[in-house]
Structure 1
Amino acid sequence: MANAEGKRYRTAKEVVDEQEEPVSLMQATELTLQTATANFDESVDMDLRLGVDPRHADQMVRGSITLPHGTGRDVTVLVLASEGKQEEAEEAGADYVGLDEHIERIQEENWLDFDVVIATPDVMGQVGQLGRILGPRGLMPNPKSGTVTMDLAKTIDEVKSGKIEFRVDQSGNLHTPIGKASFSAQELYENAKAFLTEVVRLRPPSSKGLYLRSVTMSATMGPPIRVDRSSVLTEAR
């Protein structure tokens, strides 16, 4: 099995190696699908290296966007809210709804069987104690990403429909899933364009020099495909 997987990767890499220069965004989506040869529906990810220093608060790049064609995966949502808002969350399709019992379970059992946490502002004093657990995993509710809100129904619908959150890491990198190998090239292209447009829009005013330093796209088991930065800036307008 390992040899078969290695052979598939080498074959895929040969396809990419034929492209001596970075390719356009549309070409990248086509090559990504061409090199997604695993026997499961691979995730398609974008990796960006940005010219920012996240150690400075004014150079933090963080945001969210609802992808035009979703992410292609089921999203498990935990809502932490007071009793008066829990029924709304349940009716909107949240997978887990509650407050004290879920906070206790996360703290005592390290329970993390969810992809997104949404909380109402009135319970953030209690939710704040989960910062050390949820924060490093990018799961902590935050007003900037829209996951601290009183409009639970709208937010749950957005998350379930393909809203993603992204945040630059300490080295200035962004790693974000933008779809699945079962998507068409056009669908991946439109998702990628929407994501890149938002990242470019969020460029911190204090960021000097080259902002988009590198852009790559890849399937889970495929090699990275370099995307031409100038074409990205043209597309992301």
Structure 2
Amino acid sequence: MQRSKRYKDSAKELDLEKKYSLDEALLIIKKTSTVKFDASVEAHVKLGINPKQSDQVMRTAVTLPHGTGKKLKIAAFVTSTKEKEAKEAGAELVGGKELVTQIKGSGKLNFDIAVAEPAIMRELAIIAKILGQKGKMPSPKTGTVSPNVAKVIKEIAGGKIDVKTDDQGNVHQIIGKVSYDSAKLKKNFETLLDAIKQAKPAGAKSEYIKGISISSSMGPGIKVSL
């Protein structure tokens, strides 16, 4: 893979094979982030699981105390009586059958996350494949299906995130911005890691957490000691 000059310059500042303490790693990220925007800080956690096995699936939800620094565009699939409160809570796209029809016709998902009322879930069946392919299907497992959609919307806006692995059993999650002070980034990271530990699936191997690294947007991964 071809690396950018900015990436290579950042990598010169650290030993890519060394494992740093979390405090050291956060300081390095702040020192080496050279992009012209407020870069995100990402945590990468390698788990000793095979997500293709049903007893080794790790998925949970947690509220990061200081949020991710990213404003999410929320869609709310609700009945007409709940539309007003969903909008007031912060959802940008709100609707029922008409919103489903719109998505079915365009195939476009102009939002980051979706929530839904149980009463509207049957209507989502016709776009379940579209939503599912992008990981945006509301689900009771992640708390995005609820009769109290306004509460769920406020929680998401306040930093609640859905935590899951990729096909290789790795978690990739934004934990804040480079502009956050280190204490806030550390607290968010620790909250995320605790949630992953508590969600350890029954079929997980004895070595559940195999490796951790953190990085900034477009920056090199910094290994963190467990």
The TM-score normalised by the length of structure 1 is: 0.89
> 2:199 aligned with 1:202, yes or no?
yes
Counterpart selection for 1:12 from 10, 29, 36? 10
Give the SS at the match of 1:133: helix
The one-letter amino acid paired with 1:93 is G
The one-letter amino acid paired with 1:109 is S
Identity %: 37
The one-letter amino acid paired with 2:25 is A
Cα deviation for residue 20 of structure 1 reads 4.8
The one-letter amino acid paired with 1:130 is I
Residue 234 of structure 1 corresponds to: none
- Distance in 2, matches of 1:174 and 1:181, equals 20
Give the SS at the match of 1:16: coil
Residue 64 of structure 1 corresponds to: 61
The answer on whether the counterparts of 1:16 and 1:223 sit within 8 Å (CA) in structure 2 is no
Cα deviation for residue 168 of structure 1 reads 1.3
- Distance in 2, matches of 1:128 and 1:66, equals 28
The answer on whether the counterparts of 2:41 and 2:176 sit within 8 Å (CA) in structure 1 is yes
Residue 156 of structure 1 corresponds to: 153
Residue 170 of structure 1 corresponds to: 167
- Distance in 1, matches of 2:162 and 2:109, equals 17
Residue 219 of structure 1 corresponds to: 216
- Distance in 2, matches of 1:30 and 1:110, equals 43
- Distance in 2, matches of 1:160 and 1:108, equals 28
> 2:48 aligned with 1:51, yes or no?
yes
Q: Which has the higher helix share?
A: 1
Residue 121 of structure 2 corresponds to: 124
The answer on whether the counterparts of 1:35 and 1:223 sit within 8 Å (CA) in structure 2 is no
The TM-score normalised by the length of structure 2 is: 0.94
Residue 42 of structure 1 corresponds to: 39
Residue 131 of structure 2 corresponds to: 134
- Give the aligned CA root-mean-square deviation in angstroms: 1.5
Runs of 5+ unmatched residues, structure 1: 230-237
Counterpart selection for 2:84 from 77, 82, 87? 87
Cα deviation for residue 39 of structure 1 reads 0.4
- Distance in 1, matches of 2:98 and 2:14, equals 50
The answer on whether the counterparts of 2:75 and 2:91 sit within 8 Å (CA) in structure 1 is yes
Give the SS at the match of 1:150: coil
- Distance in 2, matches of 1:98 and 1:191, equals 33
Segment drifting more, 215-224 vs 205-214: 205-214
Cα deviation for residue 105 of structure 1 reads 1.8
- Distance in 1, matches of 2:19 and 2:162, equals 27
Cα deviation for residue 128 of structure 1 reads 2.6
The one-letter amino acid paired with 1:7 is K
- Distance in 2, matches of 1:32 and 1:149, equals 38
The answer on whether the counterparts of 2:61 and 2:160 sit within 8 Å (CA) in structure 1 is yes
Residue 115 of structure 1 corresponds to: 112
Segment drifting more, 148-157 vs 126-135: 126-135
- Distance in 2, matches of 1:182 and 1:102, equals 37
The one-letter amino acid paired with 1:135 is G
